[in-house]
Structure 1
């Protein structure tokens, strides 16, 4: 008898969850030509037909005997750059011991063209059909495109069969190599690093040569077990078991840790090695790895190896402020020993940036009061002007403020600063009108009013706040009454002026000065009814001109029936970006107007005198350049100072400089924010050359028009600078490159601000909360170097300037506006 012993495990004895790793999709879907896109634009809405690396969602489901054994498990959102790669473990709510012999995984690939669209399928079994052994390691699965007809599928199958038979395309060779790779991965072949590297390079060349782009394969990976797993039916209970009363269990997270990895982590992080870790110093290679991790953007997930590396060198990491949030993500907070060590390390850390402090106030650390208290201590050092930039997000952090440390901090600063107090009141007041998560906001506003009442001159402050609130209530009623009027616009204007002049309403001359909600440093004493009007719009927004205490006029637009919170967020981020650029001595002449939502469906907008680009191009045959010439002509003295032979555009240099800089600033900022629905009616210019955008109803890449450009830069703007070959256009591009690379350095701050807004009921964030931060991150292209990012932005400018379709859409929009008028 042969003395050889074969060791194996039985699947029926393995009471572990079924897991499979979705790795990557090789090959591309058939792409539409440009002519096909123009003939049938509806087809091009499915991005996989026009972009080889478009977003796809992958779902997986366990089936057996023609029936589904589980629900569908979907991959998380991934933004693909050069390859569709998920690299994600999917865990099913079924145990390995429960799998029948014919169990299989069915994969489905989904796109979105206005509705969910199934584009391809793939299927792979769990057990080898020949010897009933559980598959393990990396596997290659054929993918079938769902929108192919049967004849196309049969032709592809016949072509592949002929290719294999003739050995022309190298299918048999690739199959042989893949089997060898599996043996190597499973440890069935001896490893020799230098020779393995040479072999893998050669295999890549063979794969590139013999694999066509039309071949679609999904690479998946099964878990590795120490021994071969052979199918066996689950154990059968011979005796009836007593029935237990049903129990309701709360499951917080279906993605449980791998027990092997958990045990390995506990051994690696044992408290016995803690004292030794204090003296550990990384070698050069590990130091490079740590620096790479420290530079990760805030939204990036860490691998288990990266977490273990951070824990091992946690004492070394305390000298680098970038490392704190990454280290906190590496902590296993369920382990009491690790949690105590992590909290003890916090005071040792170098002072962190404000962006990291904001991240620690988010939902990821809602259950860790020590971390949140540490973040608030960092915020205490910030002046009021800086806090004002982030106050909108800090108010949203109240949703995760279980220990109320953030609430107490914000209230103390709001009571001490009239400006912060005013904005804090309105930001929280708006959230109390939301249908969701009103509890923490109602508590905060109640505590704020109580603290304000008991502060120095508290009674006067409360009275001023009540007067301001009552004044806003009158404006809301004014807007609602004008909108309810069914007469033509002139009649509505007449009604508005008569209501303002009515002494009973006390609007023309206020009985006492009232704080201006948009700017708490100023006081309103009345409304100039002669300079008030009603805009042409379905919501009939009002143009109101306030008379101020210092004798100046302050025009605003007041809206009722429109949610301004998204516009408010965009203007806040633009204001922040402008401040970041000014901190680097780059003044792009950005003049963000103020917006304040005073309710869920009402608010005020600062009115800046302007003209739309549509009206400028309509009224001035010479376009923007003629407009600037007439509004700011160059003087004779300035003409005389021009160098001999230089081209004069006839515009005052400071006005042209303002136009070029502001165009560059808004070009970069609106690209990062993914502002959509850009047309010539919401691109504005003032007489002094300031260019700016209005109406931010679409952000994060959303757009109501088909094939929107990533950046809106009409050729008419370039012509206003003097043309593509002008010196001003060169300056414009350089300003764009400098602004983009500068803002990339502060990407973490902007990403963390968006992360705190995911529960703020902002329409375009609420659509895909889990993808909002990733969409902004993609615009920063953080995987690129500065040089590569400049090339990327240059390509965006070139594509936008030369784009033909946006010009057609602008023309159609102008015609629609004409017929509507």
Structure 2
């Protein structure tokens, strides 16, 4: 389609449905269409305040050379997704108070477990948080939710650590924020914080004690894990840092398994957690949850990769490819806890199965090729495996859900 025809197309779409015109620019990367939508949004912004995506057109270049009177509509704009909200903390937006207030309102209106995923961006923006909005957001949320305090503090510590080889220029600002979060805890909250970090520091340290065994055989590593796990006393009531949905009530001291790594010594173990059931039934149930503990790796890199690949690229371009993002939480400098995707079979496990090949595996599990169950499983497998780099296909963390 010629660029000259886009203004008419956008005008027609705008008359049919405002959101249709806004999302045309997602499907068609036309500068003329983008400019036309931007002109329409800025001319009558009050008509598109219920379309979160339209906010991008309102603020585009607005913070370079003075405020625009249309920006007052940000106060009532529908909340964008967290992956967009955190971009408003960037310096190019000039710490505009309206936009910062909107970004934090958007984060608060999404489920907390989704907001957890973007804590690193909120933390990274602290050094140029001249108006204190980010610090206030972390502080207030941490006071309301112990789990948020734990995760935000775990994110702050790796950057502000004195043990880091290169001292980050962010350290003074992060030190102040760290002190605020910890000092805000008192009584039961402070006691819980001490128990939480104390208990999982002991569990995580097992990974460090495995380093001398990197070149040893798997049975030798397993024996060392069992030896160290036997010393662990379960602190009932703490929760997995990567999964605060339930409280730990037991640990399988014989389950510990060493994992493959070239220079590190991660290991996997299992905890029994008590979870809340459906609200209307007011019941609780326990479940075994597996987690990987690592020492010597910056887990924040994994978090960033998950955000970029899963929450941004695939979603923004409308691909139906599927990955289940697991939780990955930094707990200290070079330490972290990683969720294991539940009820999943890795590609490596499929390859080790007694069946001859993948087709036999699928037939034995789902029935013949003509069955609906087989076709559904085949589609799921295609959409999930198409997202993987070949080097990751043996990983226990990129899993297939049939």
Q: Same fold (TM over 0.5)?
A: yes
**Could you tell me how far apart the structure 1 residues matched to 2:266 and 2:352 are?**
24
**1:657-716 deviation per Cα after TM superposition (whole angstroms, max 9, x unaligned):** 24522531453xx3xxxx645364238897xx626xxxxxxxxxxxxxxxxxxxxxxxxx
- Would the alpha carbon gap of residues 446 and 685 (structure 1) be closer, same or farther in structure 2, given more than 3 Å must change? closer
The 5-angstrom pairing of residues 650-665 of structure 1 reads 653-654=372-373, 657-665=376-384
Question: For residue 347 of structure 1, what is the aligned residue in structure 2?
Answer: 72
Which residue, out of 687, 690, 698, partners 2:401? 690
Tell me if the contact between 2:88 and 2:103 (Cα under 8 Å) persists in the aligned partners.
yes
1:398 aligns with 2:133: no
Which residue, out of 49, 59, 72, partners 1:328? 59
Question: For residue 350 of structure 2, what is the aligned residue in structure 1?
Answer: 616
Tell me if the contact between 1:610 and 1:685 (Cα under 8 Å) persists in the aligned partners.
no
Tell me if the contact between 1:589 and 1:658 (Cα under 8 Å) persists in the aligned partners.
no
1:649 aligns with 2:377: no
SS of equivalent to 2:44: helix
Unaligned ranges ≥5, structure 1: 1-282, 635-647, 692-821
Question: For residue 567 of structure 1, what is the aligned residue in structure 2?
Answer: 302
Tell me if the contact between 1:318 and 1:324 (Cα under 8 Å) persists in the aligned partners.
no
**Could you tell me how far apart the structure 2 residues matched to 1:615 and 1:374 are?**
46
SS of equivalent to 1:513: coil
**Could you tell me how far apart the structure 1 residues matched to 2:25 and 2:370 are?**
49
1:467 aligns with 2:195: yes
The 5-angstrom pairing of residues 43-192 of structure 1 reads none
**Could you tell me how far apart the structure 2 residues matched to 1:655 and 1:417 are?**
44
Unaligned ranges ≥5, structure 2: 1-6, 275-284
Higher RCO structure (Cα 8 Å, ≥6 apart): 2
- Would the alpha carbon gap of residues 483 and 466 (structure 1) be closer, same or farther in structure 2, given more than 3 Å must change? same
1:489 aligns with 2:218: yes
TM-score when scaled to structure 1? 0.38
Question: For residue 282 of structure 2, what is the aligned residue in structure 1?
Answer: none
SS of equivalent to 1:475: helix
Tell me if the contact between 2:89 and 2:95 (Cα under 8 Å) persists in the aligned partners.
no
- Would the alpha carbon gap of residues 363 and 654 (structure 1) be closer, same or farther in structure 2, given more than 3 Å must change? farther
Question: For residue 557 of structure 1, what is the aligned residue in structure 2?
Answer: 292
Q: CA deviation at 1:389?
A: 4.6
Question: For residue 681 of structure 1, what is the aligned residue in structure 2?
Answer: 394
TM-score when scaled to structure 2? 0.72
SS of equivalent to 1:431: helix
**Could you tell me how far apart the structure 1 residues matched to 2:352 and 2:382 are?**
20
The 5-angstrom pairing of residues 1-16 of structure 1 reads none
**Could you tell me how far apart the structure 1 residues matched to 2:313 and 2:35 are?**
35
Aligned residues: 363
Question: For residue 426 of structure 1, what is the aligned residue in structure 2?
Answer: 154
SS of equivalent to 1:660: helix
Tell me if the contact between 1:588 and 1:658 (Cα under 8 Å) persists in the aligned partners.
no
**1:775-813 deviation per Cα after TM superposition (whole angstroms, max 9, x unaligned):** xxxxxxxxxxxxxxxxxxxxxxxxxxxxxxxxxxxxxxx
The 5-angstrom pairing of residues 571-586 of structure 1 reads 571-572=306-307, 576=311
Tell me if the contact between 2:366 and 2:373 (Cα under 8 Å) persists in the aligned partners.
no
Tell me if the contact between 1:544 and 1:556 (Cα under 8 Å) persists in the aligned partners.
yes
Q: CA deviation at 1:618?
A: 5.8
- Would the alpha carbon gap of residues 425 and 654 (structure 1) be closer, same or farther in structure 2, given more than 3 Å must change? farther
- Would the alpha carbon gap of residues 567 and 359 (structure 1) be closer, same or farther in structure 2, given more than 3 Å must change? closer
- Would the alpha carbon gap of residues 310 and 528 (structure 1) be closer, same or farther in structure 2, given more than 3 Å must change? closer
Tell me if the contact between 2:247 and 2:273 (Cα under 8 Å) persists in the aligned partners.
yes
**Could you tell me how far apart the structure 2 residues matched to 1:619 and 1:516 are?**
31
